[in-house]
Chains A and B, each alone.
Chain A
């Protein structure tokens, strides 16, 4: 019940394209859904996050879409740039459980110039 499943494992797009990464969760008690970006040799960095009472959130070129009934959420990267090439992780947590994160398996995104 603690799993978060992420797809695809990898993604290649041309500059300006829109990579879309999907995640599904099982535990309906999760109340916070962040996305992290990780570059090689670095720790994950918070990109954007959403609560389950909101269906969409935009921050700059990054958009989260959230479907509570389907227990799914996705990340869209608008007008992608080569500098966006990184590994992206979705995650989920519960404030009542101290906000310990359950991560998806990650998606390696490559944006070609």
Chain B
């Protein structure tokens, strides 16, 4: 596609529920990144993929967070047993390859845990 697409744009869920956030990168981009942006702060790195494999997941806060990219294109960020502190905007970005400086971000998914 023309840009990075993230769905849903907004998600409200109850504490303890499971959520999935989807990212559709720019066609042909092999690197895909997830960031989390809390209100009034800069984005924080979560995980990035080169192709299908997670190359660096050091930013995932705990084992409730997991991400996959089974076919090297679309990625899904999964959050189990959501907590109110998980409320944030989850941003996805892609680039031609890991190490390429041409990042493009999506508009994000705003997750609210009530």
Contact = CB atoms under 8 A, between A and B. Distances in A.
Contact of A42 (B48, B56, B107): B107
B50 interface: yes
A49 B59 CA distance: 24
Contact of A44 (B56, B59, B91, B102): B91
Contacts of A100: 33, 45, 48, 56, 59
B100 A99 contact: yes
B74 interface: no
Interface bracket on A: 20 to 34
Interface extent on B, as a size class? 20 to 34
Interface in B21-69: 31, 33, 35, 40-45, 48, 50, 55-56, 59
A91 B100 CA distance: 15
A103 B108 CA distance: 16
A9 to B, nearest CB: 9
A97 B42 contact: no
A99 B103 contact: yes
Interface of B: 4, 31, 33, 35, 40-45, 48, 50, 55-56, 59, 91, 93, 95, 98-108
28 contacts: A32-B101, A41-B107, A42-B108, A43-B4, A43-B105, A43-B107, A44-B43, A46-B102, A46-B103, A91-B42, A97-B56, A98-B31, A98-B48, A98-B50, A98-B55, A99-B31, A99-B98, A99-B99, A99-B100, A99-B101, A99-B103, A100-B56, A101-B33, A101-B43, A101-B103, A102-B45, A104-B42, A106-B40
Given A43-B108, A99-B98, A99-B99, 10 more contacts: A42-B107, A43-B106, A43-B107, A46-B104, A49-B101, A91-B42, A98-B31, A98-B48, A98-B50, A104-B42
